[in-house]
């Protein structure tokens, strides 16, 4: 069988195309793209001409079978999305699973990925984290999802669209409290790149008044571990009284 290459593309800065990314796009038999109109611009920039097929969320079942068929016949394919790393809050997950089932080799090429870029510069603990991607659209489901994260101690990473940022910050503040730290990473790798490190309370107030522009990754500090071995104030008072009585 041929090989499926997962090829990341820039999240805003064309300078982030590595030699290996360009070489792979130039070497494969065909490219499966989330949006061929977007990817053609990148290929033109690189001076690469390649046959392309569409592979996006809503045609992933039929298109996935077609891509798999060609891979099994020995062709090699590069999967690209509009920006960033395929299969990370982007099409690709099912295709990789199909390839794994059928014994087709998959090679993941490292490169631009908004969540890694944001986590690394967040200033928050990076040792343990949970990537949450996009929160559910529906308000009730979004609240329920956040509720399930209430006790989360690891750093949490969320993707969010600018028009939903203010509502999401309000929900995050309600769930985790106004004092919880957050890093809002905006327009990473682009001209107006900005990382705002503040509390959820400050972020909520700021963006409620200043409508946000651009693309965002939110990195939220994890919660404190419960004080299992500690005692309540009442218990401490009782213990002190017992000592005094002795
Ligand atoms: N697969 C992509 C990746 O790995 O970077 C993510 C694709 S997802 C559909 C798009 C989301 O990624 C945006 O809504 C935003 O949250 C985040 N994002 C992409 N580019 C970004 C950038 N330059 N700055 C900040 N966030 C970005």
113-137 pLDDT, tens per residue?
Answer: 999 999 999 999 999 999 999 999 9
* Whole-number pLDDT of residue 211: 87
Count of Cβ atoms closer than 10 Å to residue 169 Cβ: 25
* Whole-number pLDDT of residue 105: 98
Question: Which strand (E) or helix (H) includes residue 199?
Answer: strand 194-199
Instruction: Out of 89, 109, 187, give the residue to mutate to test ligand 1, the one with the largest number of ligand atoms within 8 Å of its CB.
Output: 89
pLDDT at position 231 over 90:
no
Question: Which strand (E) or helix (H) includes residue 235?
Answer: helix 233-245
Residue 33 token pair: 């793209």
Atom of ligand 1 nearest to the CA of 88: 1
What residues line ligand 1, using a CB cutoff of 6 Å?
A: 11-12, 81, 83-85, 88-90, 113-114, 159-161, 185-190, 215-217
pLDDT at position 220 over 90:
yes
Please answer whether residues 76 and 27 qualify as being in contact, where contact means their C-beta atoms are separated by less than 8 angstroms.
Answer: yes
Q: Which residues contact 159 (CB under 8 A, 6 or more apart)?
A: 89, 114, 115, 133, 134, 216, 217, 218
Ligand 1 centroid to Cα of residue 229, in Å, is 41
Ligand 1 centroid to Cα of residue 84, in Å, is 7
Q: Which residues contact 25 (CB under 8 A, 6 or more apart)?
A: 7, 31, 43, 46, 48, 50, 78, 80
Q: Whose CA is nearest to atom 16 of ligand 1?
A: 159
* Whole-number pLDDT of residue 178: 98
pLDDT at position 5 over 90:
yes
The residue with greater pLDDT, 212 or 25, is 25
CA distance 15 to 121: 19
Q: Which residues contact 11 (CB under 8 A, 6 or more apart)?
A: 83, 84, 112, 113, 114, 117, 188, 189, 215
C-alpha distances (whole Å) from 239 to each of 18, 65, 229, 234 are: 64, 69, 15, 9
SS (H, E, C) 80-110: ECCCECCCCCCCCHHHHHHHHHHCCCEEECC
* Whole-number pLDDT of residue 148: 97
Q: Which residues contact 91 (CB under 8 A, 6 or more apart)?
A: 34, 55, 56, 57, 60, 79, 81
pLDDT at position 33 over 90:
yes
CA distance 169 to 146: 11
Interval 210-216 mean pLDDT: 92
Residue 193 token pair: 């790149």
CA distance 186 to 192: 8
- Counting residues of the chain whose pLDDT is more than 90, the rounded percentage is 88
User: pLDDT tens, 51-107?
Assistant: 999 999 999 889 999 999 999 999 999 999 999 999 999 999 999 999 999 999 999
pLDDT at position 192 over 80:
yes
Instruction: Out of 158, 217, 218, 220, give the residue to mutate to test ligand 1, the one with the largest number of ligand atoms within 8 Å of its CB.
Output: 217
Instruction: Out of 8, 11, 110, give the residue to mutate to test ligand 1, the one with the largest number of ligand atoms within 8 Å of its CB.
Output: 11
- The model's confidence at residue 10, banded by pLDDT at 50, 70 and 90, is very high
* Whole-number pLDDT of residue 104: 98
Ligand 1 centroid to Cα of residue 31, in Å, is 21
* Whole-number pLDDT of residue 86: 98
Q: Whose CA is nearest to atom 11 of ligand 1?
A: 159
């Amino acid at each position: 069988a041929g090989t499926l290459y997962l090829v990341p593309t820039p999240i805003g800065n064309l300078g982030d195309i590595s030699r290996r990314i360009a070489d792979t796009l130039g070497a494969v038999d065909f490219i499966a793209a989330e949006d061929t109109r977007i990817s053609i611009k990148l290929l033109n920039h690189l001076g690469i001409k390649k046959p392309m097929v569409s592979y996006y969320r809503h045609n992933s079942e039929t298109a996935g079978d077609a891509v798999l068929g060609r891979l099994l016949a020995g062709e090699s394919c590069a999967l690209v999305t509009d920006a960033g790393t395929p299969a990370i809050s982007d099409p690709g997950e099912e295709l990789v699973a199909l390839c794994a089932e059928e014994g087709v080799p998959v090679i993941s090429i490292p490169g631009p990925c908004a969540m890694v870029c944001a986590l690394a510069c967040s200033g928050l603990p990076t040792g343990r984290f949970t990537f949450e991607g996009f929160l559910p659209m529906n308000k009730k489901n979004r609240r329920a999802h956040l509720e399930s994260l209430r006790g989360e101690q690891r750093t949490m990473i969320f993707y969010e669209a600018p028009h939903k940022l203010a509502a999401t910050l309000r929900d995050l503040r309600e769930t985790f409290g106004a004092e919880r730290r957050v890093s809002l990473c905006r327009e990473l790798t682009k001209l107006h790149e900005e990382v705002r490190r503040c509390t959820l309370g400050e972020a909520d107030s700021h963006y409620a008044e200043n409508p946000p522009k651009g693309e965002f990754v939110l990195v939220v500090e994890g919660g404190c571990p419960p004080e299992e071995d500690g005692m309540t104030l009442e218990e401490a008072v009782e213990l002190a009284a017992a000592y005094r009585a002795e």
